[in-house]
Amino acid sequence: SRPLRVSCAIAAPPAEDVQIRVKRNENFGKLQAGYLFPEIGRRRRAHQEKHPDAKIISLGIGDTTEPIPKSIAEAMQQAAAGMATLEGYSGYGAEQGKPQLREALCSRFYTHVGRKPNEIFVSDGSKCDIGRLQMMFGSDTTVAVQDPSYPVYVDSSVIMGMTGEYDESSKGFGNLTYMVCRPENNFFPDLSKVKATDLIFFCNPNNPTGAAATRQQLEELVAFARKNGSILIYDAAYAIYIAESDLPKTIFEIPGAEECCMETCSFSKYAGFTGVRLGWTVVPEQLKFADGSPVINDFNRIMTTIFNGASVIAQAGGLAALEDEGFREMNDLVAFYRENAAILRKTFVDLGFSVYGGENAPYIWVGFPGKPSWDVFAEILEKCNIVTTPGSGFGPAGEGFVRASAFGHREDILEAVERFKKEFGGR
Nearest residue (CB) to ligand PLP, 225 versus 233: 233
CB of 269 to ligand PLP, least distance (A): 7
CB of 35 to ligand PLP, least distance (A): 12
Select the residue interacting with ligand PLP from 115, 127, 249, 403 (CB under 6 A): 127
How many Å is the maximal CA-CA distance in the chain?
83
CB of 363 to ligand PLP, least distance (A): 9
Stretch that binds ligand PLP, among 38-46, 121-129, 176-184, 221-229 (CB under 6 A): 121-129
| Paired strand residues for 264 | 235, 281
One symbol per residue from 374 to 403: x for binding ligand PLP (CB under 6 A), - otherwise; what is it?
Answer: ------------------------------
CB of 181 to ligand PLP, least distance (A): 14
For helices 126-137 and 295-306, give the axis angle rounded to 10 degrees.
120
Stretch that binds ligand PLP, among 123-131, 161-169, 212-220, 414-422 (CB under 6 A): 123-131
Q: Is 405 in the site for ligand PLP (CB under 6 A)?
A: no
Q: Is 279 in the site for ligand PLP (CB under 6 A)?
A: yes
Q: Is 237 in the site for ligand PLP (CB under 6 A)?
A: yes
One symbol per residue from 3 to 22: x for binding ligand PLP (CB under 6 A), - otherwise; what is it?
Answer: --------------------
Nearest residue (CB) to ligand PLP, 129 versus 385: 129
How many residues bind to ligand PLP according to rule CB under 6 A? 14
Q: Is 317 in the site for ligand PLP (CB under 6 A)?
A: no
Q: Yes or no: say if 408 and 416 are a contact pair by the CB < 8 Å rule.
A: yes
Q: Is 362 in the site for ligand PLP (CB under 6 A)?
A: no
Q: Is 266 in the site for ligand PLP (CB under 6 A)?
A: yes
Q: Which residues contact 38 (CB under 8 A, 6 or more apart)?
A: none
Nearest residue (CB) to ligand PLP, 316 versus 417: 316
Q: Is 213 in the site for ligand PLP (CB under 6 A)?
A: no
Residue 272 CA to residue 290 CA, distance in Å, equals 39
CB of 62 to ligand PLP, least distance (A): 5
Stretch that binds ligand PLP, among 49-57, 74-82, 119-127, 317-325 (CB under 6 A): 119-127
Q: Is 157 in the site for ligand PLP (CB under 6 A)?
A: no
Nearest residue (CB) to ligand PLP, 103 versus 235: 235
Select the residue interacting with ligand PLP from 58, 64, 71, 126 (CB under 6 A): 126
Q: Which residues bind ligand PLP (CB under 6 A)?
A: 62, 125-128, 150, 203, 207, 235, 237, 266, 268, 274, 279
